[in-house]
Structure 1
Amino acid sequence: MKLLFVCTGNTCRSPMAEALVRKRLPQVEVQSAGIFASDGSAASHQAVTVMEEAGVLFAHQSKPVTKERVEWADLILTMTEQHKQLLLEQYPHTAGKLYTLPEFTAEDAGASWKLLQEAYADLETKRVRFASGYQGDPNRFQSEFMQAHEREVAHIRELEAAMPATDIMDPFGRSVDVYRETLKELEFYVDKLAEKIHNEK
């Protein structure tokens, strides 16, 4: 498997994830890149500090996302939903291999999205029906519709709250303690990634 991690500047999150995968999954070919990265910038000193604390080899120079790197990868994992959407705009053909790291590793993400999409579709059908027979003040339509379908709206909010997180916290420019928290988050998801790759063999 060829795996590409993507973040913004390729000096914190994606290279940290890359280094963790190199240690945890030596059989996986892995690279990292940044959507707005330049070539050859050093990793942030806070990232170097926390990786050394964790005993992970971490020698890194930043690289930008390129067509060649995108084509090379069998799987592209971004740090945030925004990174994912930006890549989809530029490389729409990657849709089948492009996920956020939390999204890809969440066991129930697909089922959760399906339930949420069905609930949205059901509410939209009811909104169209409500609109067709609505005789009140047009300015009050939305609030009256929401009140009339309070239970459905509450259900959607519950589903949204239960959705797996899709973003890895950005520690850029913050304290070493924040970088430690980001590292813990990355370690959690890389462990889940390792389990998923192992189970798919």
Structure 2
Amino acid sequence: MNVLFICTGNTCRSPMAQALLQQKSSVNVQSAGVFASEGAPASEATQTSLSSIGVTCQHQSQPVTTELLDWADLILTMTMNHKETLLTNYSQVYDKTYTLKEYVLLDGEFTWEKLKNAYRRLEEKRATIVYEKDQMQTEQQMRAFLREEQDEIDRIEREMPNYDIADPFGGNAEVYQETMKEMEKYIDLLIEKIEA
């Protein structure tokens, strides 16, 4: 299996995830950044955090490319924004792109399905109102008609877990250690899932 981790600059979170997965499994793994330059090393704080648990990080940053995306069987982003950026620019990766946390959390797919269905109901009702009334409603009227559906969407979104791993960039050593501990937890869950 080929796993590609994606973050912003490819110097903190995604190289951390790559190094941890390489250390703990035999999966082929690379990382890249949606706004990365070519050839920068992992940040010093990332390297220090990893070396504190005996993981070495020989890394050079790279931007996302079509070739990398084609190489990957599974693309795991650090945030929902990274995922949305990829899907906006590379629609062909839709079926294999998730946030790391989204992919490993068991209820994620069920929650996403509920949210997609709620949005679908909202749009169907909106279209019905426009068609039946044969005129545009004021924003206030439309909101009143769609209140029930919007309340359901708001409720589901409040229940959803946060699928982002915070960017430690610019933080102190403690911030990087916390990011690494969180990352290690999700990498361990990832290994369980892909090696099952």
Aligned pairs for 1:45-194 (under 5 A) are: 45-127=44-126, 132=132, 138=138, 140-142=140-142, 144-145=144-145, 149=147, 152-194=149-191
Task: Measure the CA separation in 1 of the matches of 2:120 and 2:32.
Answer: 37
Q: Tell me what 2:192 maps to.
A: 195
Q: Tell me if the contact between 1:12 and 1:43 (Cα under 8 Å) persists in the aligned partners.
A: yes
One-letter code aligned to 2:155:
E
Give the deviation of 1:85 after TM superposition. 2.2
Task: Measure the CA separation in 1 of the matches of 2:95 and 2:119.
Answer: 23
Q: Tell me what 1:7 maps to.
A: 7
Which portions of structure 1, spanning 4 or more consecutive aligned residues, are displaced by more than 6 angstroms? none
Task: Measure the CA separation in 2 of the matches of 1:179 and 1:195.
Answer: 24
Q: Tell me if the contact between 1:106 and 1:164 (Cα under 8 Å) persists in the aligned partners.
A: no
Cα RMSD over matched residues? 2.4
Q: Tell me what 1:31 maps to.
A: 30
> What TM-score results when the alignment is normalised by the length of structure 2?
0.86
Give the deviation of 1:10 after TM superposition. 0.8
Aligned length: 194
One-letter code aligned to 2:152:
H
Task: Measure the CA separation in 2 of the matches of 1:121 and 1:91.
Answer: 23
SS of 2:103's partner is helix
Give the deviation of 1:129 after TM superposition. 5.7
**Structure 1 residues not aligned, in runs of 5+:** none
Q: Tell me what 1:22 maps to.
A: 22
Give the deviation of 1:128 after TM superposition. 5.3
Q: 1:143 to 1:87 in 2, by over 3 A?
A: closer
**Structure 2 residues not aligned, in runs of 5+:** none
Give the deviation of 1:172 after TM superposition. 0.9
One-letter code aligned to 1:167:
D
Task: Measure the CA separation in 1 of the matches of 2:93 and 2:7.
Answer: 16
SS of 2:61's partner is coil
